[in-house]
Structure 1
Amino acid sequence: MRSQGTDRYFCAAHSLINGVKQNLRELFLPVGYPEGLHTCYQKFHLWLGVETFLGSMISVLCSQAMLGSLGLGAAEAAGGAVAIQWVLKDGIGEVGKLFFIKRYASSFDSHPKTWKIVGEGMSSVGSFLQLCTCVVSVNLFLPLAAVGNMLESIHRSVWFASHMTFTKHFSPHGNIGDIVAKDDAQTSTAQLLGMLSGVSLLTLSHSQLFLFGCFSVLAPIHLWSTTSMLKAAKFENLNQANLILLGQSFVDNGKVMDYEQLHQSESLGYGGEWIQQNHKHVNIKMGLSADKAYQSANEIRSAIGIFKNETYLLNYRENTVNILFHNDAQVNDVIKAVLHAIKFYDALITSKQDTWKTLDQTLHWTTSNCQPFLESLKAHQWQCDNVYWNDGGIRLTWDRQITCSS
């Protein structure tokens, strides 16, 4: 009887533990984890949890510094001055964020890692400015707090945009909604733990020296966790830098490198989103208007005559190959246009021939080699369903001669 009771006890405990593990898995992990997600998902999100935890702690310290600088409980607080300044700092910060988004939002998809680290740097500067409110005159609270809040608002916008790009790469089977929801659960938990830890620190001391001391320790670790997280993100996506280097490799030797070969070639800069300055390559701009790419209507007519069967136009102007797209252009057309731009630039620089003649000759080469290039990209596990480029976004319409391919 005693043995049976012990067995029932262990069985119940085992069942309880399994139930808790299953519930935690359903709360924090997407369906299909880990097999159905990208291989870097786990490492990336572990670092994300550390980063969020530390960021939440820093936020608590900044809130304490700003509240202390306004002197809660003083006579002006009763008159509503605190509330007014608090609202103004948020409002001014949001307005500043709008100007930043207008200027740089088009590159968030093409350079998410770069903007993520820039955003974290802005957030650290913003937090420092907010901390400084506790050691300066109360008259400086609003400008310091407003600028600090603006930088943190920009950071949040950048993270929201870049996170959506990361999420698309994590989800080869399209369960983006599930991944986003589980990311939110993970983030909320890390934020709560960070808040509790930050409040625990404040129970030790509220002094200005203590706040700055904690910040000086937490901020570098926070940035280090961000860089570690981005290093863990290894996506076989066709961003601006990757596609140019892959296309150049194919034009030069007819081969496409895989992810590891490309990133070991020392041609890429930070995050794999920039080409090293000492690496010679073609400068390409996409999605321009016709008046920026061409100098006259005759040039446009000449280009359309050459590209009458295509969904893109090319032109070389001011050391840049400009690509203009038709409204019907698809992802494969973008890849073809970039491959053509690379071949065209190489031929133009090497042969010194007439631009229009070179365009025509290289178009024939591109038409013959585009399909092998696409097949080689897929064979090396590159994701060809999208191209992440800082595109001007303009699409044009012209009469095309559509041909049927066998």
Structure 2
Amino acid sequence: MPFALQPSFPIFKFNATPKHTTTTRVQFVCNSSSNQTNSGDSHYKSDGSRHQVVLVERYLNGTSKRYLLDDEFHLTTILEDESKSNGYSLKELPWLPDIVKDFVLPAGFPGSVSEDYLEYMLLQFPTNVTAWICHTLVTSSLLKAVGLDYSSGTTAAASAAAIRWVSKDGIGAVGRFFIGGRFGNLFDDDPKQWRMYADFIGSAGSIFDLCTPLYPAYFLPLASLGNLAKAVARGLKDPSFRVIQNHFAVSGNLGDVAAKEEVWEVSAQLIGLGLGILVLSTPGLVRSYPVLASTWMTVRLLHLWLRYQSLSALQFDTVNLKRARILVNLHVSNSTVLGCEECNKMENILSWEKFSVPRIVFGVSFSDMLGGDRSGLKVKKLLELYAKEKYILVVNQEPFKDFETLVSFKDGATSLSVLRSIWQAYWLYNNRSSQDNLFDQLKASLNELDHQFDNFLQQLKDIGWDINQISLKVANDVLIKEVPVY
């Protein structure tokens, strides 16, 4: 989500979600001199006064918002349609709607993937289509083998049963389709959380299967719902575990790690199946549904507890949003940082970012950052104050609202820029005062940031953190990456 500027000002990049659109690509055009008279930067009113363009926010839906200042520093905005603007390379698929592109392609495409990615996926798609056609045809053969014989006049019944069975699988596949398209860029940042959530959702899906003996007439809808939930769980589990496997493969041996994981998993599967058969062979268990259900519940709760313990044992040396909060909070308070093992143990696997304190809202539109004070003087002060930073941060001053900081990012911002904004937010939170002027607080926090942030990074490096792998996903889960300025 980029933002671009005139040559006299740095280029700003916002990841914003203004009220008039759902997804944004924001560019800032800032002019440092009010004497510039480029036709694209100035607008004149009938009384001869000039409106100077200071900011431009461009959104993925093709619209843009221009922020203009007049000679008396009054701020006005203009909403324009730039959907017909060009400037995209053919590799960016300009003909494909953004909503489709975001759903089927990785974030940052084409720069975030190798050049052979698109050709491979275009060939892989019909390959998978033919595989599922074969699966559908084979399913009817399996049903025939269990008693639905075509020669005995039950061809229609076999076909209908096959269609119902495949439909059940298809409904489940919808869950994986939705997860992969909508949440595909979440897993790199916090694989522990999503792997745990996968087990919770999978457990819910098993409950539907467990209820089928109680309501046999509703077998298809119950089994379909169970498949849907378990497919969603698989959509969360597989990409999360691939990230975890990549963490294990410290010598580039990802294939070997994955192969040996199969050995562990199959061994566990065989033992589990054997114990399951042994449990089912227990007299009276199969005939007593309450006993069967309570046994399943006990084993499932044990499974969830063991999953949580296994994920808690992971020790990532990369900095994600949760670990960044823990590390920054300690450094701002005591000028020290935690090691990888201690920080990973403190990380709450199940927590959501929205409930973290202090609350930091990333990717806010500039209009929302200004709040009720829409004066051009405030715009000018903010741009001057953050001239050296790749982001802009303000404290939300709405009455009766808990402490909250709002952050927008400039063009060229990286995950390191996000980390700097988090450090500043925590300093403001720990040193907040209702009596100080907002700009005085921001200026003081930026001075502290300049003096202490390098020490923070050095401590992270000395204690074993990989500061070259800072992965902070913000603003609608968009990873801020370096963007070349042309």
* 1-structure distance, mates of 2:169, 2:385: 54
Aligned equivalent of 1:340: 424
Alpha-carbon distance change, 398 to 133 in structure 1, aligned in 2, over 3 angstroms: closer
* 2-structure distance, mates of 1:167, 1:218: 26
1:98 shift after superposition: 4.1
Give the structure-2-normalised TM-score.
0.56
Alpha-carbon distance change, 293 to 228 in structure 1, aligned in 2, over 3 angstroms: same
Report the 3-state secondary structure (helix = DSSP H, G, I; strand = E; otherwise coil) of the residue aligned with 1:321. Answer: strand
Please point out which of 155, 159, 167 is paired with 1:80: 159
- Aligned sequence identity (%): 26
- Does structure 2 retain, via aligned residues, the 8 Å contact 1:120–1:223? yes
* 1-structure distance, mates of 2:437, 2:460: 31
Aligned equivalent of 1:357: 440
Alpha-carbon distance change, 394 to 235 in structure 1, aligned in 2, over 3 angstroms: closer
* 1-structure distance, mates of 2:162, 2:219: 13
> Could you say which structure has the greater relative contact order, defined with CA pairs below 8 angstroms and 6 or more residues apart?
1
The 5-angstrom pairing of residues 43-62 of structure 1 reads: none
* 1-structure distance, mates of 2:342, 2:303: 30
* 2-structure distance, mates of 1:222, 1:137: 28
Counterpart of 2:325 in structure 1: which amino acid? I
Aligned equivalent of 2:196: 117
Report the 3-state secondary structure (helix = DSSP H, G, I; strand = E; otherwise coil) of the residue aligned with 1:324. Answer: strand
Counterpart of 1:147 in structure 2: which amino acid? L
* 2-structure distance, mates of 1:281, 1:109: 23
CA-to-partner distance for each residue in 1:374-400, whole Å, 9 max, x for gaps?
Answer: 011122222323334451228699999
Q: Which moved more, 1:372-381 or 1:296-305?
A: 296-305
* 1-structure distance, mates of 2:201, 2:484: 47
Count of residue pairs brought into register by the alignment? 325
1:123 shift after superposition: 0.9
Alpha-carbon distance change, 87 to 183 in structure 1, aligned in 2, over 3 angstroms: same
1:303 shift after superposition: 2.5
Please point out which of 308, 324, 329 is paired with 1:227: 308
CA RMSD, Structure 1 to Structure 2 (Å):
4.0
The 5-angstrom pairing of residues 17-36 of structure 1 reads: none
Give the structure-1-normalised TM-score.
0.66
1:368 shift after superposition: 1.8
Aligned equivalent of 2:338: 257
- Does structure 2 retain, via aligned residues, the 8 Å contact 1:284–1:341? yes
Question: Is 1:239 aligned to residue 320 of structure 2?
Answer: yes
Question: Is 1:331 aligned to residue 415 of structure 2?
Answer: yes
Q: Which moved more, 1:220-229 or 1:181-190?
A: 181-190
Q: Which moved more, 1:305-314 or 1:369-378?
A: 305-314
Alpha-carbon distance change, 274 to 170 in structure 1, aligned in 2, over 3 angstroms: farther
Extract unaligned runs of 5+ from structure 2. Answer: 1-141
- Does structure 2 retain, via aligned residues, the 8 Å contact 1:94–1:153? yes
Report the 3-state secondary structure (helix = DSSP H, G, I; strand = E; otherwise coil) of the residue aligned with 1:256. Answer: coil
1:261 shift after superposition: 4.9
Aligned equivalent of 1:167: 245
Counterpart of 2:358 in structure 1: which amino acid? V
1:126 shift after superposition: 0.9
Q: Which has the higher helix share?
A: 1
Counterpart of 1:78 in structure 2: which amino acid? A
* 2-structure distance, mates of 1:79, 1:275: 50
Question: Is 1:391 aligned to residue 474 of structure 2?
Answer: yes
* 2-structure distance, mates of 1:372, 1:117: 35
1:236 shift after superposition: 3.7
Please point out which of 386, 402, 427 is paired with 1:307: 386
Please point out which of 322, 340, 344 is paired with 2:406: 322
* 1-structure distance, mates of 2:468, 2:220: 47
Alpha-carbon distance change, 148 to 246 in structure 1, aligned in 2, over 3 angstroms: same
Alpha-carbon distance change, 291 to 105 in structure 1, aligned in 2, over 3 angstroms: farther
